[in-house]
Amino acid sequence: MKLILAGALTMGFVIAGLFFLRFWRQTRDRLFALFALSFFAMGLNRLVLSILWVNSPGGVRGPWHDRMYWVRLVAFLLILLAILDKNRSPRPSSPGPR
């Protein structure tokens, strides 16, 4: 059951990454590119964790499990960087009311 849920979670991350990648291709906005990269990293992280869990004896956590948290940290930092970058970039001025 755990592997089914891990596969569904991996698929969800990849679909979210593809969703943001599609918007990046339309707009070329860095926000969407960084979000896509972040979700692909989280999907890859979940896939690797699932593969390592299956190949470990009895499904026991190994020393690799704690190191995989760094990938998630980087992914969330990418999301934070994308948001900060979007808020700091100059916005085109819209004409005021006449």
pLDDT tens digits, residue range 17-49?
999 999 999 999 999 999 999 999 999 999 988
Q: How far, in Å, CA of 94 to CA of 58, rounded?
A: 61
Residue of 44, 32, 96 lying closest to 74 (CA atoms): 44
* Of 20 and 96, more confident: 20
* Per-domain residue ranges of the chain: 2-87
Residue with tokens 């339309």: 26
Query: For 76-85, how does the pLDDT look when each residue is reduced to its tens digit (9 = 90+)?
Result: 999 999 999 9
